[in-house]
A = this chain, B = another copy of it.
Amino acid sequence: MTINYPNGRPFQTFTTKHRAQSHSTAGHGDRGMSLEAEINQSNQFYQAQQIAVVHKKPTPIQIVNVDYPKRSAAVIKEAYFKQASTTDYNGIYAGYYLDFDAKETTNLQSFPLANFHPHQIHHMQSCADLGGICFALIRFVRKNEIYLLNGPDLFRFWERQFNGGRKSITRTELATSAYLIKPKINPLIPYLDAVQAIIDKNKGE
């Protein structure tokens, strides 16, 4: 269950973002480390190894009021969180454009599709149409399981809900449709193994 603020903003997401922005000092492998922090650490590893360059986009902010104190940095005095128009992560791996989002659920057996915004799905579809590899990283927090769900499969589950289907993806469906990512030391979340499997599969088709 996701706890929301009265305005509908999910509590969990916001905490995660805020934590990352204030440069959490949580050590690698920390059990309570957010999915975002683990992905960022994995991306740092991939970049250091010259395997991929993937970054999380900054949280979009609507700035309303800025102060310019003399002899010191500009201070934003009033700003609001904006809805992102794309996914959170993109970059390049082996010449391929990558685009993905990372989501967590505390559910045990299904992942609610409401975790995605329609424009995120639309954005991934547009990128996939142009040859990009788009996917979702989905963590079942209480199972400590991470799945990589390839775009075309995600789009299929997404469309299903508008044809009378369920508004979630079951863990059983993910176990057969998605790639289970087994955490390692370096990188913590070796998601590019699954991406390479997708590339190989696409080439074989």
**Cβ–Cβ < 8 Å partners of A94 in chain B:** 130-131
* A5 touching B74, Cβ below 8 Å: yes
* A77 touching B74, Cβ below 8 Å: no
Asked if A144 is at the interface of the complex by the 8 Å CB criterion, the answer is: no
Write the residues of chain A forming the contact surface with B, with a CB cutoff of 8 angstroms: 5-7, 9, 14, 18, 21-22, 47, 50, 52-53, 55, 57-63, 66, 68, 70-82, 84-86, 90-97, 99, 123, 126-127, 129-132
* B5 touching A53, Cβ below 8 Å: no
Distance from A133 Cβ to chain B, minimum over Cβ atoms (Å): 10
**Cβ–Cβ < 8 Å partners of A70 in chain B:** 6
Distance from A193 Cβ to chain B, minimum over Cβ atoms (Å): 17
Given A58-B57, A80-B73, A96-B97, residue A126 in contact with residue B47 (CB < 8 A) = yes
- 15 of the cross-chain contacts (CB-CB < 8 Å) are A5-B74, A18-B63, A22-B62, A50-B130, A53-B127, A57-B57, A57-B58, A58-B82, A58-B84, A73-B80, A76-B79, A76-B81, A90-B90, A90-B91, A92-B97
**Cβ–Cβ < 8 Å partners of A5 in chain B:** 68, 74
* B21 touching A92, Cβ below 8 Å: no
Distance from A17 Cβ to chain B, minimum over Cβ atoms (Å): 8
* B61 touching A79, Cβ below 8 Å: yes
Q: Closest 5 A-B residue pairs measured CB to CB? A: A95-B131, A58-B60, A92-B97, A76-B79, A97-B97
